[in-house]
């Protein structure tokens, strides 16, 4: 699927190049300025703490020098420019992608991504099969010539007349709420700053008649100390047309410092539900406001300890709850709104083998989205839990979104490793799901790609699923370049997903593997809890066992194995580098966490304490220090080739983690393998990154991996 021009360039590499594709210029020297900190009687020295100061001239100079060295290495790779050209051409040929669908009477609101536009835009449709009915409500590409303004999220009023949109710039996710008239796209004069931030996200819910909106807001200068301005998220009410200085406080002052609030309104507008997360560890409390017109105010329905993981307002004056209390794989409860006390909730869907992930009530049915170790399934029930029916979906695929329409039917978005995303419609009281016009097509075919699920055995005997994707006819002779991907945290599941750019990898003989390791939610809450806090080492053991399995089963060998992960998956990369430096040839680690002793000092790091633990607790400190990648780098070790990527505007993981880790690895490394740092000045954690920058990041990644694994030409 690669053009002749691309093949010619690669052919030229083999014949004419004498470059060493594995080496890089010597790393710039990094001064050591040791700072010592004592934790529970343990003295820890940090030689590169000075690199934490983003705005210091010497830090900027060091980072610029690293970037220059990285660019010199990547840009001299003979296939780097051809890869970017190929990716750009493919993106230009892709059909639109549709996501974040919201239903309102007579309208569907949806985010549409249409390359070569840099950012998705917000449009409306009259139905999922009427593409000609599309009207653009807001195109952020028209707001910013550089394409760095992004829509964080949007919420239409209940009648669809207005839509509230959070906008942020440069990948910062620091959102300001704006309001637009749906029919014309005309902006209203109202705007509200700092309703969204990477620490706790943001959310909103309209009142019944569309005259005002409840929204999340962070403290403003003077309301809290400077250090708390990205914490203590609260809910306020804004009346359209009024200045935001007149907005009224609603709830949140008594919530934890690391509260994360999601708001949902009932379809009749009489109730507002606030789901409050206690940081990122997976515990929630729920509060209910209503019915409209009553003077009772907010009522707490659940506590963090109740293990209610999700709640949604039904159209039948009931609240539907996903509980993991004595049910790690989940059960569903129904709670009448007339008596909103958890003790009055009735179990309607018992726990079983599937892991319940989503619950979507309609006026007369309940749709349940399950996980089966990674892939999905959908079940339909009557509202009392009877009449269970399986809705057929494609094999080894993932249902990412489920939306009910006004007529009680269901739309869901599904994709697999070999089929791009499409929205399917399941009519009321039907079991057949039909693909709608909201579907993506790929610029390249995956007809020759095969997917198999196998199981590796971890250090403690735990078996974990592996999704192995490769070209049909591949020989298991230990010679295949293989890229192993993992995450393992927050109960987030690595479900099947389609990425057409992987065609480059497959065309060069590559095998792509996704490991469903502990820390994720693929096998329920127990799977998550077995990989968080003091049990985090299980995650790293699982990933190492996945790599060892691929070698043992002759998919690949260490010299042909690369690993990749981002964010929490970047921590996974750091741990694998330091615990098993000889297990792989190359590593791509994006926006990763590496210093586990200081991560909680950053604003978003404090939200991670419920997932990782805190150095303030002796046992949790012991676990953190034992695996913290930055502290486990050993002088004189031969480390693999490493490309670390970060964004200067990252509000989720401070870029200094990557700077410090690269500095420490450079100091300790005794191999000739390059250790590279790439910092993007126009991006953050990845959300809201402009398409051009995403393409450049992909091209750098593929060029680096091709060079390191010796993938010098297309495999016929």
Catalytic residues, by residue number, are 567, 685
CB–CB of 90/111 below 8 Å?
no
> Which DSSP helix (H) or strand (E) runs through 706?
helix 691-709
Using DSSP bridges, classify how beta strands 248-251 and 234-239 pair: parallel, antiparallel or unpaired.
antiparallel
Here the tokens at position 677 are 């740092």
- CA 258 to centroid of chain Cα atoms: 19
Question: If DSSP codes are grouped into helix, strand and coil, which group holds residue 355?
Answer: strand
| Beta carbons of 685 and 647 less than 8 angstroms apart | yes
Reference 315, options 242, 260, 365, 378; nearest CA is 365
Q: Long-range contacts of range 504-507, CB-CB < 8 Å, 24 or more positions apart?
A: 504/2, 504/83, 504/86, 504/87, 504/702, 505/702, 505/705, 506/448, 506/449, 506/469, 506/470, 506/471, 507/1, 507/2, 507/714, 507/715
**Using CA atoms in the order 22, 26, 31, 35, what is the torsion angle rounded to 10 degrees?**
20
Look at residue 664 and give its three-state secondary structure. helix
Between CA 288 and CA 253 the distance in angstroms is: 16
Distance of alpha carbon 245 from alpha carbon 396, whole angstroms: 51
| CA pair distance 633, 594, nearest whole angstrom | 11
What is the b/e burial string over 176-211, where b = at least 16 CB atoms within 10 angstroms of the residue's CB? Answer: bbbbbebeebeeeebebebbbbbbbbbbbbbbbebe
Evaluated on CA atoms 363, 365, 368, 369, the torsion sign reads negative
The angle, 0 to 180 degrees and rounded to 10, between the axes of the packed helices 656-668 and 568-579 is: 10
Crossing angle, helix 80-93 and helix 691-709, to 10 degrees? 140
Q: Which residues contact 337 (CB under 8 A, 6 or more apart)?
A: 271, 288, 290, 291, 313, 317, 318, 319
Q: How far apart are CA 223 and CA 233, in angstroms?
A: 12
Q: What are the strands of the beta sheet with 135-138, ordered from one edge?
A: 97-104, 107-113, 121-125, 135-138
CA 460/CA 111 separation, integer angstroms: 44
Residue 411, C-beta contacts closer than 8 angstroms, at least 6 positions apart: 101, 103, 128, 402, 403, 404, 405, 423, 424, 425, 426, 436
Inter-CA distances, 433 with 390, 393, 406, 427, 436, Å: 11, 7, 17, 8, 9
Closest CA to 355 of 330, 388, 321, 326: 330
174 half-sphere exposure, CB direction, 13 A CA radius: 14
d(C-alpha 470, C-alpha 511), whole Å: 5
On whether the CB atoms of residues 607 and 621 are closer than 8 A, the answer is no
Q: How many beta carbons lie within 10 A of that of residue 564, not counting itself?
A: 21
Best CA proximity match to 119, nearest among 144, 90, 84:
144
Q: Is the peptide bond before 433 cis (omega within 30 degrees of 0)?
A: no
């Amino acid at each position: 699927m690669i053009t002749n021009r691309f093949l010619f360039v690669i052919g030229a590499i083999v014949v004419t190049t004498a470059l060493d594709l594995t080496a890089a210029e010597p790393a710039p020297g990094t001064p050591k300025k040791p700072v010592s900190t004592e934790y529970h009687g343990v003295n820890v020295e940090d030689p590169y703490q000075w690199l934490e100061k983003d705005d210091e001239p010497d830090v900027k100079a060091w980072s610029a020098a690293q970037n220059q060295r990285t660019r010199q290495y990547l840009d001299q790779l003979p296939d780097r420019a051809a890869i970017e050209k190929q990716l750009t051409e493919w993106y230009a040929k892709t059909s639109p992608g549709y996501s974040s669908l919201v239903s309102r009477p007579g309208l569907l609101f949806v985010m549409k991504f249409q390359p070569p536009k840099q950012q998705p835009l917000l449009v409306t449709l009259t139905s999922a099969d009427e593409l000609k009915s599309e009207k653009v409500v807001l195109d952020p590409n028209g707001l910013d010539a550089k394409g760095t303004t992004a829509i964080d999220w949007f919420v239409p009023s209940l009648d669809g007349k207005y839509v509230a949109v959070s906008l942020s710039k440069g990948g910062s996710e620091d959102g300001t709420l704006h309001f637009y008239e749906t029919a014309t796209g005309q902006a209203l004069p109202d705007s509200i700053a700092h309703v969204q931030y990477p620490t706790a996200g943001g959310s909103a819910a309209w009142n019944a008649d569309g005259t005002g909106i409840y929204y999340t807001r962070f403290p403003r200068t003077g309301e809290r100390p400077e250090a708390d301005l990205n914490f203590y998220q609260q809910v306020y009410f804004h009346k359209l047309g009024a200045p935001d200085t007149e907005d009224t406080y609603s709830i949140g002052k008594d919530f934890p410092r690391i509260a994360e609030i999601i708001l949902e309104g009932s379809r009749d507008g009489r109730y507002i539900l606030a789901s409050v997360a206690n940081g990122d560890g997976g515990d929630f409390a729920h509060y209910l406001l209503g019915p409209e017109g009553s003077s009772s105010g907010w009522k707490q329905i659940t506590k963090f300890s109740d293990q209610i993981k999700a709640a949604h307002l039904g159209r039948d004056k009931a609240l539907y709850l996903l509980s993991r209390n004595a049910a790690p794989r989940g059960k569903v409860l129904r709670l009448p709104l007339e008596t909103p006390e958890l003790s009055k909730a009735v179990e309607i869907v018992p726990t079983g083998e599937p892991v319940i992930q989503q619950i979507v009530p309609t006026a007369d049915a309940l749709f349940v989205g399950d996980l089966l170790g990674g892939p999905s399934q959908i079940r339909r029930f009557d509202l009392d839990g009877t009449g269970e029916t399986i809705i057929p979906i494609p094999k080894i695929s993932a249902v990412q979104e489920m939306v009910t329409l006004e007529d009680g039917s269901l739309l869901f978005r599904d994709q697999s490793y070999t089929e791009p995303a499409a929205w399917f419609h399941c009519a009321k009281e039907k079991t057949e799901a039909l693909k709608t016009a909201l579907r993506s097509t790929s610029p390249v075919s995956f007809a020759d790609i095969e997917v198999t699920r196998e199981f590796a055995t971890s250090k403690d005997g735990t078996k974990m699923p592996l999704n192995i994707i490769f070209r049909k006819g591949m020989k298991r002779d230990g010679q295949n370049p293989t890229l192993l991907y993992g995450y393992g945290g927050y109960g987030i599941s690595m479900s099947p997903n389609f990425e057409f750019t992987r065609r480059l990898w497959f065309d060069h003989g590559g095998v792509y593997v996704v490991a469903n390791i502990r820390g994720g939610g693929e096998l329920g809450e127990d799977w998550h809890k077995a990989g968080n806090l003091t049990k985090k080492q299980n995650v790293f053991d699982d990933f190492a066992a996945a790599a060892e399995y691929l070698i043992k089963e002759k998919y690949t060998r260490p010299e042909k194995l690369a690993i990749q992960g981002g964010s929490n998956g970047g921590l996974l990369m750091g741990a694998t580098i330091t615990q098993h430096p000889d297990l792989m040839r190359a590593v791509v680690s994006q926006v990763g966490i590496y210093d586990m002793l200081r991560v909680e000092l950053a604003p978003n790091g404090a939200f991670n304490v419920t997932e990782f633990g805190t150095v303030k607790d002796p046992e949790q400190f012991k676990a953190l220090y034992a695996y913290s990648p930055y502290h486990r780098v050993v002088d004189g070790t031969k480390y693999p080739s490493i490309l670390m990527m970060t964004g200067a505007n990252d509000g989720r993981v401070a870029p200094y983690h990557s700077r410090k880790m690269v500095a420490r690895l450079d100091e300790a490394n005794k191999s000739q393998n390059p250790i590279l740092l790439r910092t993007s000045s126009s991006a953050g954690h990845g959300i809201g990154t402009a398409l051009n920058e995403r393409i450049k990041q992909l091209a750098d990644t593929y060029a680096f991996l091709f060079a390191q694994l010796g993938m010098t030409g297309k495999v016929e």
